[in-house]
Amino acid sequence: MKEYRKPLPQPTPWSKPFWDGCKRHEFLIQRCKDCQRPIFFPKLFCPYCLSPNPEWVKASGRGKVYSYTVVYSYGPTEFSEDTPYIIGVIDLEEGVRMMSNIVECPPEKVRCDMEVEVVFDDVTEETTLPKFRPINERR
Ligand SMILES: [Zn+2]
């Protein structure tokens, strides 16, 4: 595996199940056992009803692009070799929003409301990052 030199997630005890799921290529979010609302990012308590009972559920991994930006230039960091790349805000089918990279998509083709699905990028032995690719507009 090629050396990965970018920053890596530092899981907390309450976010570790999310990252462990990614490593298994399973996309998990939390849902409150009491009010049933979906929760992302991982929390110890439900942000809606303050229940201490969020549970982990498997999510579809599908959603739509809410917003995005294309990074064409960047300072001399580990990210500069990836330009141009897309940072997207994804509205998941389950009703939560997350930020990630949109991959397998030319920057000029990305648009809001584009349907996307999760793909898993095993960047190190220990860490897998969830990213999103277009569902219908793959090259
Ligand atoms: Zn709740």
Structure confidence at residue 139 as a pLDDT band (50, 70, 90): very low
Exposed, middle or buried by CB within 10 Å (0-12, 13-18, 19+), for 126? exposed
Percent of the chain with pLDDT over 70: 96
State the pTM of this model: 0.92
Work out the number of other CB atoms within 10 angstroms of the CB of residue 113: 8
- The verdict on whether omega for the bond into residue 42 sits within 30 degrees of 0, i.e. cis, is no
Span from the CA of 58 to the centroid of ligand 1 (angstroms): 18
- The CATH class of 61-139 is mainly beta
Question: Taking the domains of the chain in order of start, what are their residue ranges?
Answer: 10-59, 61-139
Transcribe 25-69 into DSSP letters: T--EEEEETTT--EE-S--SS-TTT--S-EEEEE---EEEEEEEE
Span from the CA of 38 to the centroid of ligand 1 (angstroms): 8
Tokens read off for 29: 């979010």
Span from the CA of 37 to the centroid of ligand 1 (angstroms): 6
Q: DSSP label at 20?
A: H
Span from the CA of 26 to the centroid of ligand 1 (angstroms): 23
Q: Reply yes or no on whether the pLDDT at 90 is more than 60.
A: yes
Percent of the chain with pLDDT over 90: 86
Span from the CA of 13 to the centroid of ligand 1 (angstroms): 20
Whether 31 and 55 have beta carbons less than 8 Å apart is answered as: yes
* Residues with CB in 5 Å of ion ligand 1: 32, 34-35, 46, 48-49, 51
